[in-house]
Amino acid sequence: MYILILAFIVALLLSSILLILSALLSKKSMLDQEKSSPFECGFDPKNTSRIPFSIRFFLIAIIFLIFDIEISILLPLGIISGSLSPMSWLLVGGTFLALVTLGLYYEWVDQTLSWIT
């Protein structure tokens, strides 16, 4: 247990030191804002250079990522089927699929999946 805590502290210290060093030695500075602004043939830009996107698209992308991760969690269930009894394997798989189906049903009722609202 002490080895695990020590490894965690060492990793935390090492990552903190590297983060501070990279911030100090970075060539990027916030002093020159003119270089980071968009350039339009010497004129000031009329519009913002960033195009806004639909928040509905963002929500559907997040839901896709969540269900994609859930499927990747479900895939190893076939590998461990030999080491578990069939009843416990069906119980674990069925419970997980029921939770995923319940989440999908909630998203459908909440109309998060409909593109046009």
Task: Dump the DSSP string for 45-83.
Answer: PSS-SSPP--HHHHHHHHHHHHHHHHHHHHGGGTTGGGT
pLDDT in tens, 43-57: 666 666 666 777 778
Tokens for 69, please give them: 């991760």
Report DSSP state, residue 37. S
pLDDT in tens, 36-89: 666 656 666 666 666 677 777 888 888 888 888 888 888 888 788 788 888 988
Q: Are 101 and 48 in contact (CB under 8 A)?
A: no
For 84, the 3-state DSSP assignment is coil
